[in-house]
Structure 1
Amino acid sequence: MQRAKRIAFGLVVAVFLASWISPHWPAEQALHSSLTVAGLWWLLRHDRRWPMRASDFALICGFIAAHCIAARWLYSNLPYDAWMQALTGWSPQQAFGWQRNHADRVIHLLFGVCFAPALRQYAQQRWPRLSQRQAFALALMSIMCASLVYEWLEWAIALTMSPQAAEAYNGQQGDMWDAHADMLLATLGALVAWPRRAVAAYPLSAEAA
């Protein structure tokens, strides 16, 4: 593994460990953290077989780090508004009239943004005849399918819990369209990552940086 990737991976592991210092909700955080551990394992395994660009690898590490921070507060309790007020004196909740905590929305958006470039590259590694548009279409569909499966997983886990525990884990905050909004944001995040300029800047024929 190249130095840039080792640094990115080391930082995300450090964030993960720090998120477990005096956890507020250990059981619920452990459920979220199981996905973190699986994601880190997958990242290393995938990169060994299908080397990723350092930038794509770092994006995925950044997403996992953001997930670790949000998972510590079970997403819906992340005090981003208090942090923003302390740093800048500005409250996004008041400015936009938000009635719910939108940390989960940001994480789902980042999922699309951070995974789409790596998935596009992977598609063209596996099937070199694909055009850039075809490879991106596969990446986009992969993001959409993964988001759907994740929402199914959340629903299945919630069925095994009490209503209070299920709400704490899923963080719907009373929004009956929560799953739909999450999937839409992941899709929009992937669309944001469409590599209009990156195609020229990082040709797939070049060695993974």
Structure 2
Amino acid sequence: MPASQRWMILLLGAAVALANMAQPYPSVAPLHHVPTVLLVFAAPVLLARWPLSTRTVAFLLAFWLLHTLGGRYTYSDTPYDGWAAALTGATISDAFGFTRNHYDRLVHFIFGVASVPLLAELARGGGLRSIRAMLCITIGFVLAASAAYEVFEWLLTLAIAGDAADAYNGQQGDMWDAQKDMALAFAGTLCMIPFELRRTRRGWPG
């Protein structure tokens, strides 16, 4: 494993530790951060078994760092408006007319983006040489993974206490929240595919 990838894993571990210092939502935080901690420990084994380029690992790191930040604030309370106001004197919500916290939408979009280089690289490493097949696999994976996560989120909220369930679910009163999250992941995939194809078209004969 390249040294740069080891540093990325350590950076993610440090980010999780920092996200849980003076944790403002201790009842919900483990639901967000335990999977990331498990990934930090599993990543060296996974990357040894299925090596990835540093570029692909960097995309995955960006997604997990954004998830870790959102996990600190249960996503719904990520204070990006406060940060924007401190820097510019104006809020993002005022600028775009937002009536809810959209940080979760951003992370779902980035999930779609980060999945493309990962799946393209795994497909090529597995001997796949068809662009069409790679596109079908990538789009199918993102849609299936997004749907599976929304179902898992629903089942988990049935098993935990009411307030904690609302905080983890992050629906914010939007009955179409799950569908919009899946649509944003799909949009991220569609936005990233042309860049990935332009970069890796050589070696994809059909």
Task: Indicate the percent of aligned positions where both proteins have the same amino acid.
Answer: 35
Q: Contact 2:129–2:203 at 8 Å: present in 1 too?
A: no
Using the alignment, how far apart are the partners of 2:119 and 2:185 within structure 1?
A: 14
Give the match for residue 103 of structure 2: 103
The one-letter code sitting in structure 1 at the alignment partner of 2:190 is: L
Matched, 1:185 2:184: yes
Give the match for residue 130 of structure 2: 131
Distance 1:42 1:146, change over 3 A: farther
The one-letter code sitting in structure 2 at the alignment partner of 1:196 is: L
Distance 1:11 1:204, change over 3 A: farther
Using the alignment, how far apart are the partners of 2:51 and 2:23 within structure 1?
A: 35
The one-letter code sitting in structure 1 at the alignment partner of 2:143 is: M
Give the match for residue 47 of structure 1: 47
- Helix, strand or coil at the partner of 1:74: coil
Q: Where do 5+ consecutive residues of structure 1 fail to align?
A: none
- TM-score normalised over the length of structure 2: 0.91
Give the match for residue 167 of structure 2: 168
Give the match for residue 7 of structure 1: 7
Give the match for residue 18 of structure 1: 18
- Residues 130-181 of structure 1, C-alpha deviation per residue, up to 9 Å, x if partnerless? 3133213212211111111110110001111333321111110000000000
Size of the aligned set, in residue pairs, is 202
Q: Contact 2:153–2:169 at 8 Å: present in 1 too?
A: yes
Q: Where do 5+ consecutive residues of structure 2 fail to align?
A: none
Q: What RMSD over aligned residues (CA atoms) do the two structures have, in Å?
A: 1.7
Give the match for residue 73 of structure 2: 73
Give the match for residue 118 of structure 1: 118
Q: Contact 2:9–2:43 at 8 Å: present in 1 too?
A: no
Distance 1:70 1:10, change over 3 A: same
Give the match for residue 61 of structure 1: 61
